Amino acid sequence: MFGPQHAAVYEATYRSRGKSWQAEATDVADRILAVRPTATRLLDVGCGTGAHLESFAGRFAHVEGVEFAPAMLDVARRRLPGVTLHVGDMRDFRLGATFDAVTCLFTAINFLGTVAEMRAAIATMAGHLAPGGVLVVEPWWFPERFIDGHLGGDLVREPDRVVARISRSTQQGRLTRMEERWLVGDAHGIREFTQVGLLAMFTRDEYLDAFAAAGCEGSYVTGWLTGRGLFVATRTGEPPSN
């Protein structure tokens, strides 16, 4: 997932169903500043096209991003030419710097396949937090809330483009297999592509245990803006060394 064709239609499709990266970033920033009012430095891990970072830049003096998918990072760099953006794997990136807040939103952490990988990512993010810093993670659905066989559909009409998407999500053990079929029509013709994403379904306790192991005290916010909830944790101890 997250290749050039997907990156080109990604935001338009989710915005058409009501997703607001700005509203989400505003809420997350408010939560961070409520815990750490002096926060000035924020790192967004799995920053994608930079839509959350664009809003975070208006609330924090210094922001940076980490992204694994080159096509998504290309969009973010065009959007945020003055922001430092790193190519990196959330399981083991090393920036040699600490931040007042680290965020990992829109279920980016669930593209890791195992609990061990999730724990490695949480430990790596915690290792980039200053003492008392805030870590915010948005999860995918918990296993008990996942609807096996769920069908999704979107139709986006723009002045110069029409985008249609159909998805089907099925459960494969602890993984969600999400198959997506896309049709994109514009002045150059009609193009079709298919992609399959695998998202791990971790339990609430597995996340909280990962925060604790990384020296953070975490709590879960039910529902949140996306319906999936939000984890907010504070570094209270020593994270694993970088």
The model's pLDDT over 114-132, given as tens digits with 9 standing for 90+, comes to 999 999 999 999 999 999 9
Percent of the chain with pLDDT over 70: 98
3 state SS of 238: coil
Predicted local confidence at residue 240, as pLDDT: 55
The CATH code for residues 4-142+203-235 is 3.40.50.150
In the chain, CATH 3.40.50.150 covers 4-142+203-235
The CATH code for residues 144-200 is 2.20.130.10
Predicted local confidence at residue 241, as pLDDT: 55
3 state SS of 235: strand
Sole residue written with tokens 């944790």: 233
Nearest-5° angle of CA 54, CA 60, CA 63?
60
Contact between 128 and 104 under an 8 Å Cβ cutoff? The reply is no
Indicate the helix (H) or strand (E) that contains 20.
none
In the chain, CATH 2.20.130.10 covers 144-200
In this structure, which long-range contacts are made by residues 67-73, counting pairs with CB atoms below 8 Å and at least 24 apart in sequence?
Answer: 69/1, 69/2, 69/3, 69/7, 71/2, 71/3, 71/4, 71/6, 71/7, 72/2, 72/7, 72/10, 72/47, 72/48
Low-confidence ranges of the chain (pLDDT < 50): 242
